[in-house]
Amino acid sequence: MIARISETYEGAIAGELFGAREIARAIERLAGEIVRDYRRMPLTLVGVLKGALFVTADLARAIAAIPDGPSELSIDYLCVSSYGNASRSSGEVRLLKDATEPIAARNVLIVEDIIDNGLTLEYLRALLGERNPASLRSCVLFDKPFRRLVQVPVEYVGLQVPDEFVVGYGLDYQELFRNLPYLAQLQPEVFTNG
């Protein structure tokens, strides 16, 4: 039923910001930086659901494809939802599902889909930081640097996105559009009819 899904999305999409190839290249570059920094060290990726579902999976495999990387790599996921209006988080984050493995003494890399005001990532760094990981860093695929409310460290940054609401490659509008393989803007009518 893929064809029907695409037709439903078609009229809603205003334009493509980054295609699947550009996204894949950005992830390969991030993987290269991560491999350099975690050479022969154990590493745990903690993906933030639901948005970072695809970037976490693709990043983990891109890291595996590069020689001399981490000595071992484990993947965990946690699930949060941010309160706020439909298109901006308020930083009031609710932990819907925690990671399953202990991270004490582990090298942890948080993998997020996008950072905007920074409050979600700040919450996550505080949450995981309390658990005494050996190291804690963050990786975001998409960066909207225009409306930061907090200066939260992001050691690995993929692609800069304009100050607009975007969907696709894991990012949703009202739970839809996550499975678009590219990053897109929506038609303004989508927000008003929502």
What residue ranges bind Mg ion (CB under 5 A)?
Answer: 51
Partner whose binding site includes residue 103, from Mg ion, ligand IMP, none (CB under 5 to 8 Å by kind): none
Other Cβ atoms closer than 10 A to 192: 7
User: Would residue 116 show up in a list of annotated catalytic residues for this protein?
Assistant: yes
Stretch that binds ligand IMP, among 19-27, 31-39, 56-64, 114-122 (CB under 6 A): 114-122
When asked if residue 183 is in the footprint of ligand IMP (CB under 6 A), the reply is no
DSSP string, 53-92: HHHHHHHHHHHHTSTT--SEEEEEEEEEEEEEETTEEEEE
| Contact in structure between 138 and 154 (CB atoms under 8 Å) | yes
Element (H, E) at 95: strand 88-97
Whole-number minimum distance, CB 90 to ligand IMP, in Å? 8
Question: Is residue 165 at the binding interface for ligand IMP, with CB under 6 A as the rule?
Answer: yes
Query: DSSP labels for 121-139?
Result: HHHHHHHHHTT--SEEEEE
| Residue 141 contacts ligand IMP per CB under 6 A | no
Binding segment toward ligand IMP, per CB under 6 A, in 15-23, 59-67, 107-115, 130-138 = 107-115
Q: With binding defined as CB under 6 A, does residue 89 bind ligand IMP?
A: yes
Q: Looking at 76, 116, 143, 172, which residue is catalytic?
A: 116
Is residue 76 near ligand IMP by the rule CB under 6 A? no
Reply yes or no: is the peptide bond before residue 50 cis, omega within 30 of 0.
Answer: yes
Choose which of 63, 108, 166, 186 interacts with ligand IMP (CB under 6 A): 166
- Beta carbon nearer to ligand IMP, 31 or 161: 161
CB-count exposure of residue 148 (10 Å: 0-12, 13-18, 19+) = middle
Give the residue numbers marked as catalytic.
116
